[in-house]
Amino acid sequence: MTKALFSFKTRETLSELLKLAWPVVLARLGIMTMGLTDAIVVGHYASRELAYHSLAWAPSSVVLTTAVGLMMGVQVMTARLLGEGRKDEVGAVLRRGMVYALQIGVVAMIGLLLLGPFGLVHMGLEDGLGEGATPALMVFALSMPAYLISVAAQFFLEGLHRPKAGMVAMWVANAVNLALNLMLVPDLLGIGVHGAVASAWATFGARTALAIFLVIFILRLPEARALGIFSKPKRDKAVEREQIKVGVGAGSSNFIEVGAFAAMTLFAGQLGAAETASWAVVINVSAIVFMVPMGLSSATAVLVGRAYGAGDKAGVMRSGLSGIGVVTVLAFIIAVGLWLAARPVVGAYTTDPAILAIAAPALVLATLFFVADAQQVVAAQANRAAGDVVWPTLMHLLSYGIIMIPLGWWLAHRMGVDGIVWSVIVASLISGALLTGRFVRIARRL
């Protein structure tokens, strides 16, 4: 009887996980699609403008990824309070999240506006590249507050088990972005703005539309009043601290990972132009694949957070292991598919024989870290949702900061791009094993 009940609950958890995960995965893929759209439209307009766009995007993406992590507390605490039966208090989580989004967004915007142009000009780039990328960077900076408001709203809806609205909004924003790119990049409107900076304004418009759509959707929810969205929240210092703590942990991990992979790009740049382009293809494909475990990590965090809030120890373990199990299977299937199709996938990016000769084998090799990378991001989010915030960040620091960066430099100068990929494989295996083991230990101790 007990075994049958456990089997039923596991199937129920898997069903709920998949139902929650697929819209989140599609929403995360929408984020990547927006960047790809910008690059394709600008690239067809002028190759130098694409260089401006890429250079402007690089520093803003590091800041943005870190800031998105800082907002993760909205999702986790919404799910926890629902699990605790405190449905009328989740509105306070959203309201705090919106305040944090504005504060972090404004600080990020000012930081990029003040420091970004100086950094671009003094990075030792080819003459004119830093100056050409600066206007686009400044526009990207201006869009930070609106985008973080949209992130807070999206995380709130995911915590409520209402992820489809965020998915639809993201793809509507992609349509807005594409339309604006097609009009602004070639300056069809005759406003005197074109190329990379015009594409940045398209992104600004899409992010603003995304934020407005999601905020209006939340305000019009039938249960908005019952959720406490329109009520002045009572101070709950314990929830406030936990919301900030989860966000700081996730933001720190994001910063460590993004910084480590930026270092890998720098090491590829030290090898030569063909190696740099080859690594860019490998990391771009890997980033698209990573959106699948990113989506599943959010869905897993919601289920684990709800079970944790309800004091359901078995539910925490079941939800976390279900997420890790599902992402393992999906990542393995994707890895096998890309291993078989590596050359045509690289061929979609370039026809240069030199790059094909480096990037295709490197992408085949990269499929070896897909499973471990997927496991580590889901396990990290499961840990945070179960109240363990510090250790996931420390494990990311060890795996990607202390191990991967020096190993990547050493292997890059001995094996080329393949050496960089091997360093990612080693770091991902260590991170995946440590974080999965940590989650099992935490769930058992609850």
Instruction: Answer whether residue 125 shows pLDDT above 80.
Output: no
> Nearest 5°: CA angle at 355, between 349 and 358?
115
- Whole-angstrom Cα distance, residue 362 to residue 417? 7
DSSP state of 272: -
Instruction: Answer whether residue 4 shows pLDDT above 60.
Output: no
Contacts of 204 (CB under 8 A, 6+ apart): 139, 140, 142, 143, 146
* Cα 159 versus chain centre, distance: 17
Token pair, residue 444, equals: 């058992």
Instruction: Answer whether residue 1 shows pLDDT above 50.
Output: no
Q: What is the pLDDT of residue 133?
A: 81
- Residue 211 and residue 146 in contact, taking contact as beta carbons nearer than 8 Å: yes
- Residue 377 and residue 408 in contact, taking contact as beta carbons nearer than 8 Å: no
Contacts of 335 (CB under 8 A, 6+ apart): 367, 368, 370, 371
Rounded to an integer, the average pLDDT of 417-436 is 95
% of the chain residues with pLDDT over 90: 48
Question: pLDDT higher for 223 or 191?
Answer: 223
Question: pLDDT higher for 118 or 442?
Answer: 442
Under the banding of pLDDT at 50, 70 and 90, the label for residue 340 is very high
Instruction: Answer whether residue 71 shows pLDDT above 60.
Output: yes
Write the DSSP string, 332-401. HHHHHHHHHHHHHHHHTT---HHHHHHHHHHHHHHGGGHHHHHHHHHHHHHHHHTT--HHHHHHHIIIII
- DSSP 3-state of 127: coil
Q: What is the pLDDT of residue 393?
A: 92
How far separated are the first and last CA of the chain, in Å rounded? 25
Runs of H (alpha helix) within 185-312: 195-219, 237-271, 273-309
Rounded to an integer, the average pLDDT of 17-36 is 85
Under the banding of pLDDT at 50, 70 and 90, the label for residue 124 is low
Residue with tokens 């989140």: 24
Domain residue ranges of the chain, discontinuous segments joined by +: 22-234, 238-446
- Residue 104 and residue 334 in contact, taking contact as beta carbons nearer than 8 Å: no
Token pair, residue 246, equals: 């989860």
Write the DSSP string, 257-269. HHHHHHHHHHHHH
Q: What is the pLDDT of residue 264?
A: 85
Q: What is the pLDDT of residue 2?
A: 47
- Provide the residue type at 312 as one letter: D
